[in-house]
Amino acid sequence: MNFPSSSPAHVLRERARAPTDRELAEIPWLAGLDEHARARAEQALVVGDTPAGDYICRVGRPVTYWFGLLDGLLKMSNDDSLGPVITFTGVAPGGWFGEGTVLKREHYRYNIQALRKSRVAGLPVDTFHWLLDHSIAFNRFVMNHLNERLGQFIAAREIDRINNPDLRVARNLAALFHPLLSPNVGGVLRITQQELAYLVGLSRQRVNEALSALALRGWIQIEYGGLRVLDLQALRSAEL
């Protein structure tokens, strides 16, 4: 599997394999396809593991796959060679990303890095375009996905202007629990305070303080190894 990576490419190619039935069930757009389109997609899909710190996509590399996260946690950021790293968003389980780049068959303009050991699925570019040409259901999913992603990035611009750390953490958590962009998160997101700090751009200590404040408001519940959201709407819209 040709994942663009900071480690030797052959390592990930050797780990590439066909998805299991359970993994196929975790891919949100497959269920809506007709029998022929689904068979075509399942035959083309591959799965690979990537260790923490590795890059799934890198700025300037040609697009080869449309990627989806089955397990783990990823972050999308800018090219650090041009200045300070800016994290655009996190990618939680069930999230698929890079469809805009795949549609245009262009080089990546962002990095996607694993914050922990992750399991990623890839749909080849040619199969992606075949599905666009032959499946209304696939077109509808991609269109809705692009629309939701646009809204997420508009919200991210607003977050960058927020000086209240508690509110920054709240908005970033809301993005990670997005029901359409991260449909497999469920009630609990497995994430450490340090991982959340990487995504939010704050220190781990300040993130810990923000999480405690949000928990006191009854919006989240801190659990062992993760977080449970109790009031998603409050995280999205509240003013602190």
Q: Is residue 158 part of a domain?
A: no
Reading the block at residue 167, the tokens are 């509110």
Sign of CA dihedral 90, 95, 100, 102: positive
Whether residue 19 contacts residue 46, with contact meaning beta carbons closer than 8 Å, is answered with yes
Three-state DSSP class for 77?
Answer: strand
Q: Does residue 209 belong to any structural domain of this protein?
A: yes
For residue 62, what are its two tokens? 């040609």
User: Residue 50: which pLDDT band, with cuts at 50, 70 and 90?
Assistant: very high
H or E element: which one contains 189?
strand 188-190
pLDDT of residue 12: 46
Q: Which amino acid is at 188?
A: V
Which residue, of 131, 153, 175, is where some domain finishes? 153
Cα gap 1→64, rounded to integer Å: 9
Q: Cα separation of 227 and 211, whole Å? A: 9
Local confidence band at 92 (pLDDT 50, 70, 90 cut-offs) = very high
Query: What's the pLDDT at 188?
Result: 87
**Residues 71 and 176 reside in one and the same domain:** no
Residues 121 and 216 in one domain: no
* pLDDT for 6 beyond 50: no
Q: Give the contacts of 163 (CB within 8 A, at least 6 positions apart).
A: none
Return phi, psi of residue 47, to 5°: -130, 140
CATH number (domain holding residue 209): 1.10.10.10
Predicted pLDDT at 44: 96
Where in the sequence is the domain holding 14, given as residue range(s)?
9-153
128 in a structural domain: yes
* Number of CB atoms found within 10 A of residue 231's CB: 15
Determine, yes or no, domain membership for 2: no
